[in-house]
Amino acid sequence: MPYYRCVVPKDSVPYEQRAAVAKAFTDIHCGNTGAPRSFVHVVFDEADDRWDTPYFLDGGNRAGRSEEVKAELLSDLMSAFREITGVASDDFSGRITEGPAKWTMEGGMVLPEPGEETEEWYSHGQAAAGG
Amino acid sequence: MSRVSFNCTMQEGQIGEELRAKLAVALQQITEDVLGESPDDVPVTFSNIPSGFGFRGGEPSTTSLVRGSIVGGVTQEVREDLMRRICDRWMEISGCTVDELVVSARDV
């Protein structure tokens, strides 16, 4: 379950932009990894977290992808966020941490490792998305 | 420090306050059954994602997340047993579908 938590200052990102970022993140994640859309979670958190920048992307993904894929994914996500919200580069930073897929159950199924996805898993993900 | 703890994140308006106590008791009971932990030693916290702040698949989300942490870790067989029981019981109590729940049990 990719989980992208966008830490933002209070009242700084209106709903229309949040929805646009969520859609863009879903497009980017699925385009980079091939994961079903229904597995991509995006949350906006107006928390008082103390990061180095006022805006922060705290992502969590399944472990096992190449460094190249991970770097491209983070770069694409951050670019999309900046383009949609207009936040300056100096005000935005991010990271993606990883954990074993087998630690998570989603849709009643233990997540497969990247590259070990089955047709059943893809089918379930598409059904969950309603398409 | 408790060996096992849970943090539950829910979309605002999806699961009523009155069900949270039942869900917490269920998580504690399952943890006792599977891992032998005393229910009193299993803290359960809840937090809400405000409406319009949570998305899944690019659309507004109705999904709840139950995140368990297990100090010292467990075997994968035990982990899957724990997660499946949580999944089944959570759906039973909350009325959500299997696609509206993510359960994790991570070793720490």
Question: Looking at residue B45, what is its pLDDT?
Answer: 96
Q: Measured between CB atoms, does B104 come within 8 Å of chain A?
A: yes
Q: Are B47 and B12 in contact (CB under 8 A)?
A: no
Question: Residue A119: which pLDDT band, with cuts at 50, 70 and 90?
Answer: confident
Question: Looking at residue A122, what is its pLDDT?
Answer: 78
Question: Looking at residue A44, what is its pLDDT?
Answer: 97
Question: Looking at residue A130, what is its pLDDT?
Answer: 45
Q: What is the pLDDT of residues A90-115, one digit of tens each?
A: 999 999 999 999 999 999 999 988 88
- All residues of chain A having their beta carbon less than 8 Å from the beta carbon of residue B98 are 107-108
The answer to whether the Cβ–Cβ distance between B56 and A38 falls below 8 Å is: yes
pLDDT over 50 (residue A131): no
Residues 6+ apart with CB under 8 A from A66: none
Question: Looking at residue B85, what is its pLDDT?
Answer: 98
How far apart CA B81 and CA B78 sit, in angstroms, is 5
Q: What is the pLDDT of residues A38-90, one digit of tens each?
A: 999 999 999 877 788 999 999 999 998 888 989 999 999 999 999 999 999 99
DSSP secondary structure of A48-113:
----SSSEEEEEEEES---HHHHHHHHHHHHHHHHHHH---GGGEEEEEEEE-GGGEEETTEEPPP
B80: enclosing H helix or E strand: helix B76-94
CA-based nearest residue to B59, from A77, A64, A59, A23: A23
Q: Measured between CB atoms, does A4 come within 8 Å of chain B?
A: no
Q: Measured between CB atoms, does A11 come within 8 Å of chain B?
A: no
CA-based nearest residue to B72, from B105, B38, B33: B105
Mean pLDDT by 10 residues, chain B (108 residues): 94 90 97 96 96 97 97 96 98 95 96
ipTM for the predicted complex:
0.94
CA-based nearest residue to A111, from A26, A2, A5, A4: A2
Sign of CA dihedral A75, B99, A125, B69: positive
Q: How far is B42 from chain A (nearest CA, A)?
A: 19
Q: Measured between CB atoms, does B74 come within 8 Å of chain A?
A: no
Q: Measured between CB atoms, does A129 come within 8 Å of chain B?
A: yes
Q: What is the pLDDT of residues A18-30, one digit of tens each?
A: 999 999 999 999 9
Q: How far is B10 from chain A (nearest CA, A)?
A: 11
pTM assigned to the model: 0.92
Say if strands A55-62 and A92-99 run parallel, antiparallel, or are unpaired: parallel
Closest by Cβ to B87, choosing from A44, A103, A108: A108
